[in-house]
Every structure is written in structure tokens, then in C-alpha cells.
Chains A and B, each alone.
Chain A
Amino acid sequence: MAPITSRRGGPGGSQLTRVITTVLLGVFLVYSLLPLFYLVVSSTKDNTDLFTSFGLWFSSAFNLPGNLRDVFARDDGVYLNWLWNTTYYSISSAVGAAFVSTIAGYAFAKYRFPGRIPVFAVILGSIMVPQTALAIPTFLLLSKIGLIDTPLAVILPSLVSPFGVYLMRVYAEQSIPDDLLNAARVDGAGELRIFWSVALRVLMPGFVTVLLLSFVATWNNYFLPLVVLSTPELYPLTVGLASWNSLASAGGGAQPLYPLVITGALVSIVPIIVAFLFLQRYWQGGLTFGSLKD
């Protein structure tokens, strides 16, 4: 998306307006970043400093390395399991969901087949079905077929992305000219081959957007893994951290857990924030895209 051009001398272009609006946005920026700043500051404190020093500034001792060591050592290094599980669940779900949504969106965009309109309407309508309302029925269903408490119980439901299909349909409609497909047909290419070697290349930016959205959704998911997993070694970071936190809140334990929860939380968001900063063009691309068309 092209950056908007600054309209010098346009409406509200005065210096005073500039200062007032910048301050306004600055206040909201502080609100947005303050909790993250608190997390960073707190991860450098040991349990005593956490309770005695001022929460929004560093204490004299720098205990981040010690906290990190504790995070990875606790319960025979179960945190490393969680980190790996989250990565594994997120990547599998993202790649799968992006592929399945892309090929489905392409079919809706580029073929006129019987049932196209009602089937798409059902998929679009399902965006309104709350995902969390599905978690408990999914749990009950998966326990019937013995898939409960396995990685697949998290990954398979995460592959269904009606919003991804919608995005890819819009994207395919706008980015693939029919002439391109017809030219390939005249050259004698089969439909599968056309998708694989012609369409998919054009659809790549949309594919990456759905990939990222699904990746983040799975990385941040809590309800579904909470419901379908019961073995701590299979937990993703979200469920693992929540379990440590409830232990910490229950209190009275021999080892102080708050520094672990805080440092563990910090470590868990570093990859996603890095991904977000480097790939923000794609994220925003996806969000913008869904709204523009509507």
C-alpha cells in the first residue's frame, strides 16, 4: 500500500495541530507499550525485588540470566518442550491452513461450478460461529475417536480457516487474470499443473498472509489446547504458562514462581514480536484486504 502523501497546508496542517495530535497519539503509545515495558523490567528481578522494588523501574540487581536459567531448568526443562510444541503446532497449522485455504479460495474465484454459491455462503456464515463454542464439542468428538491428548487434536482443528478461504478468494479474483489461465490451457497444461505452476506463484503474497494469520492464531491459542490436552509435556506455551501461574497464585510453594512466569512470558512473546516486526507488511496486507472488499 502506497504511503499517503503529506498534504502540506492541507486541512489541519498547522504546527499547533501537529503538536496536539502527536501528544494524543503519544499518550496512547505509552498505554500500548507500558505493559510490555513492565514485563521486560520485571524479568530482570528476583522474587524479593519483584515485591519490594517499584514495578515500573529496574532494581539494583540484574537477575535476568538467573531467571532464564530457572525457566529452562524447572520441571526437567518442560519449558523447552512447550516452546517446541508451540513452534511445531503453529508451523504445521499455518502451512496446512494456508495451503488448504489457498487452493479452496482459488477454486471459488476461478471456476463456475454447481453449488459454488451455496457452499461459499455456508463457509462465509461459519466465520460467525464462535471458535470457542466449537472447542467443547470438538473435545467430545475427538475423545470418541481417541485423538484426544495428541498433537493432532490441536493441529487438525486449526487447519480450518473460513476467513482464510474468503481472503484467498478475494485475492485470487483480483490478482489472476482469466487470460493467464486460458493461455496455459491452450498450451495444454492440466488444471492441477496450472494451479501449481501458474496460479500459486501469483497467489504467494496472499498465501503468506494467511500463513501468518494462522501462525499467530495458533501461537496465541489457549482455549483449544487447554481443552484437548492433559499431558503437560504436550502443552503449548500458553497453557504451560497458565499452569505455572495458577501454581504461583495458589502460593505457599517451596520455590517462588512469579519470576518464572514473568520471564517465561517474555521469552514466549519474543519470537512472535520479531516475526511481527519483520513481516508487518504481510500482516497488515491481510487485515486490510478483508475489510476493503467488504
Chain B
Amino acid sequence: MAERQGRNSGEAVPAFPVAKLPGGAARNKRIRQVVIPYLFLLPFLVLFVAFLILPLAYALGISVFADRLVGGTVFIGAENYLRAIRDPAFLGGVARMLTFGAFQIPIMLGLALVLALVLDAGVTWFRTLFRLGFFLPYAVPSVVATLIWGYLYGQDFGPFAQLADRFGLPAPNFLSDSLVLASIANIVTWEFTGYNMIILYAALQAVPGELRDAGAVDGAKGWQVALYIKIPLIFPALLLTAVFSIIGTFQLFNEPQLMQPLAPGAIGQAFTPNLYAYSLAFTNQQYEYSAAISFALGAVVVVCSYVFMLLTSRREARG
């Protein structure tokens, strides 16, 4: 690094006097092409290695070792991972997230797409109000969103329970075993539909005017233009929102963790893989196994995102 900085200070010399010397010019060029860009990348790369690569490597490292009473720290290879793939708690969490994603992601993105298409068609009043209002929940921290929805769901002073009570109906138990996953899905949908809508809306705005007009001239109806012209054109943006949603789903933590006190029976310590990793580390002090779960979860996410992109890009090429 010292060498790099040394070369860099030489760079401050004006370029053209040096350029008269062929050797100096070559050196100068090399500095410009190699040293300078890495100097610019240095702050990011140092942080990237320290807080992304190293934690991952460390998690991998400690997950393949174990502290034994006899023999101290020993190499156990894939033992923690073999345990994870047979651990009903971990697998149950992954399966729950797959169920969650299979329902919540299409609903959220479907809503976002419809809202974006309607806004983009320009046939409604108050478009700015709608765009701002839909996006507003994204600015609310998920902690606050979960607290509010938790109160709204509440059996005691939640307004839904109060309304049901007024009409003499039994209060819906949003936090029961059967409904709690849907209740969490609703919170996530509330938080992120507007965010996804903005991404899709922006992509729609970039659809060239000639294409829209061509459809209209051919006598296509508004929904036909949307279905056959606009949606295929914004497919990459739709794909991006889907991949971000998949990543987000597997990371689910804040909402179930904060709702745990409200629904202790329905939300267990392994409700989501991330919650499981957290409980393993901070309740059970099983750091090695927790690291293995974190690492395995990261691998699941990367594989799922990759497979999803592979499948959809193949379909896109065919279509």
C-alpha cells in the first residue's frame, strides 16, 4: 500500500513533461490504468473484505470445527451441515419460508404490477397522491410497522376485534397457529408493495411512446397494451423485484421476532431460519452450529435466486 501511495504522489506531476520520455510515459500509463483505480477501490474493498468476506469465511471456519472436552478444538468437517440438513427445526423454517414466498411474493408483486400499470396508464385522478401514499410504508421501519400491526391484530384493544365485538361476532384471532403466517405476510406486503410498485412504475415510464401508440392505433384495448406490450418490456424489472423478494423472504426475522411475545405459542424459536440462527447463538450459545445455519441459509438464498433467474431467463428467451 505504501508503494501505491508513493507512486500516486508521483502522479501529481503534470502529465505532459513526463510524456516526453517514453519510459516515463509507459510508467505513467500503468499508474493510471492499474494503481489509480485500485486506490479508488481500496476503501470499499477493505470494508468489503472485513465485513462481508471475512464474516462469511469465519462462519465457514468455525462451522467445521468443534470444541470437544477431550482434544480441544477439532476439525469435524461437514458434521454441522449434515446435522442442519437433518434438523427438523431448520428444515421446518426453510419449508415455512418457501410456503410464505410462494403465496406472499406473487400477491405482493401482482398488486404492485397492477398499481403500476394503472398509474402508468394515466387514467386516474390524484396520481401523485397515490404514488406518494403507496410508497410511504417503505419509509416506516419494519420494527414500527410490526408494532403497529401487532396492535391492530390485538385481541384486547385491536380495532378489528372491537369492530367484530360491536357486531356481535367472535374476534378474529390473527395470531393463532393457522393465521400467524398470513398475518406476517400482510405486514411484509404492506411494507414492500409500494417499493416494488415504484420500481415497476419507473420501468413502465421508460417504455417508448411509439410502442404504446402503435398498440393504440391497432385498436388494442388498454389491458391488451399492458399485457402484450408493457409487461414483456418491463420483464427485467419484474425479475429484479422477484429476486429481491426471494432474498428478503429467506431473511425474515424482524416481524416474527417482534411478534413472538404476542403469539408465543404460534411463533417458535425456529419459526424462520434466521430466527433459529439467532436463538442458537444467543439463547443456546451454540455459536458453531448457528454459524453453520447462517452459512447454509446464505447458500440456500444464492442457489434459489440463481435457479429462479436461470428458469425465468430461459423462459424469456423462448418467449
Contact assessment for B58 and A140 in the assembled complex, using a CB-CB cutoff below 8 Å:
yes
Contact assessment for B52 and A160 in the assembled complex, using a CB-CB cutoff below 8 Å:
yes
Known: A11-B220, A220-B143. A29 touches B130 (CB 8 A): yes
Q: Does B92 contact A (CB under 8 A)?
A: no
Q: Does A252 contact B (CB under 8 A)?
A: no
In the assembled complex, the Cα of A97 lies from the Cα of B222 at a distance in Å of 43
Q: Which residues of A contact B (CB under 8 A)?
A: 1-2, 4-7, 10-13, 17-18, 21-22, 24-25, 28-29, 31-33, 35-36, 38-39, 42, 50-52, 54-56, 99-101, 103-104, 106-108, 111-114, 116, 119, 123, 125-126, 128-134, 136-141, 156-157, 159-160, 162, 165, 185-186, 188, 190-193, 195, 216, 219-220, 222-223, 227, 237-238, 241-242, 245-246, 249-250, 258, 261-262, 265, 268-269, 272-273, 275-277, 280, 283-284, 287-288, 290-292, 294
Which of A32, A165, A242 makes the CB contact (< 8 A) with B44?
A165
Contact assessment for B133 and A33 in the assembled complex, using a CB-CB cutoff below 8 Å:
yes
Q: Given contacts A129-B302, A134-B52, could you give 5 more A-B pairs where the C-beta distance is less than 8 Å? A: A12-B221, A28-B111, A131-B251, A137-B55, A137-B291
Contact assessment for B124 and A269 in the assembled complex, using a CB-CB cutoff below 8 Å:
no
In the assembled complex, the Cα of A294 lies from the Cα of B123 at a distance in Å of 28
B residues less than 8 Å from A4 (CB atoms): 120, 122, 205
Q: Is the interface of B mostly helix, strand, loop or mixed?
A: helix
B residues less than 8 Å from A104 (CB atoms): 40-41, 43-45
Known: A18-B123, A185-B15, A288-B202. A33 touches B145 (CB 8 A): no
Known: A113-B33, A261-B147, A277-B132. A130 touches B240 (CB 8 A): no
Supply 14 A–B pairs (Cβ within 8 Å), ascending by A: A11-B224, A12-B223, A25-B130, A113-B38, A119-B41, A129-B302, A156-B47, A185-B15, A227-B278, A242-B258, A245-B261, A268-B141, A287-B199, A290-B240
Contact assessment for B159 and A139 in the assembled complex, using a CB-CB cutoff below 8 Å:
no
Known: A140-B62, A223-B253. A157 touches B141 (CB 8 A): no
A residues less than 8 Å from B190 (CB atoms): 31-32, 35
Contact assessment for A156 and B120 in the assembled complex, using a CB-CB cutoff below 8 Å:
no
B residues less than 8 Å from A6 (CB atoms): 122
Which of B8, B34, B43 makes the CB contact (< 8 A) with A113?
B34
B residues less than 8 Å from A103 (CB atoms): 40-41, 43-44
A residues less than 8 Å from B225 (CB atoms): 11
B296, chain A: closest CB distance, angstroms? 9
In the assembled complex, the Cα of A238 lies from the Cα of B6 at a distance in Å of 45
In the assembled complex, the Cα of A36 lies from the Cα of B206 at a distance in Å of 32
Residue of A whose beta carbon sits closest to that of B166: A54
**Segment at the interface with A among B71-79, B98-106, B150-158:** B150-158
In the assembled complex, the Cα of A55 lies from the Cα of B155 at a distance in Å of 12
Number of A-B contacts (CB under 8 A): 321
Q: Which residues of B contact A (CB under 8 A)?
A: 8, 11-12, 14-16, 32-34, 36-41, 43-45, 47-48, 50-52, 54-56, 58-59, 62, 111, 115, 118-126, 129-130, 132-137, 139-145, 147-149, 151-152, 156-159, 162, 190, 193-195, 198-200, 202-203, 205-206, 212, 215-216, 220-225, 236-237, 239-241, 243, 247, 250-251, 253-254, 258, 261-262, 274, 277-278, 281-282, 287, 290-291, 294-295, 297-298, 301-302, 305-306
A residues less than 8 Å from B258 (CB atoms): 242, 245
Contact assessment for A292 and B152 in the assembled complex, using a CB-CB cutoff below 8 Å:
no
In the assembled complex, the Cα of A265 lies from the Cα of B143 at a distance in Å of 9
A33, chain B: closest CB distance, angstroms? 6
Q: Is the interface of A mostly helix, strand, loop or mixed?
A: helix
B residues less than 8 Å from A134 (CB atoms): 51-52, 55-56, 294, 298
Contact assessment for B142 and A29 in the assembled complex, using a CB-CB cutoff below 8 Å:
no
Which of A21, A129, A262, A288 makes the CB contact (< 8 A) with B199?
A288
A173, chain B: closest CB distance, angstroms? 14
B residues less than 8 Å from A265 (CB atoms): 144, 147-148
Residue of A whose beta carbon sits closest to that of B63: A137
Which of B50, B51, B137, B301 makes the CB contact (< 8 A) with A130?
B301
In the assembled complex, the Cα of A32 lies from the Cα of B186 at a distance in Å of 11
Contact assessment for B43 and A136 in the assembled complex, using a CB-CB cutoff below 8 Å:
no
A residues less than 8 Å from B43 (CB atoms): 99-100, 103-104
B residues less than 8 Å from A238 (CB atoms): 141, 143-144
Of B140, B143, B215, B250, the most chain A CB neighbours within 10 A belong to: B143
Which of B58, B143, B148 makes the CB contact (< 8 A) with A38?
B148
Contact assessment for A291 and B236 in the assembled complex, using a CB-CB cutoff below 8 Å:
yes
Residue of B whose beta carbon sits closest to that of A129: B298
B residues less than 8 Å from A280 (CB atoms): 132, 135
A residues less than 8 Å from B34 (CB atoms): 113-114
Known: A39-B148, A54-B159. A195 touches B40 (CB 8 A): yes
A residues less than 8 Å from B55 (CB atoms): 134, 137-138, 140-141
Contact assessment for A107 and B123 in the assembled complex, using a CB-CB cutoff below 8 Å:
no
A residues less than 8 Å from B158 (CB atoms): 55
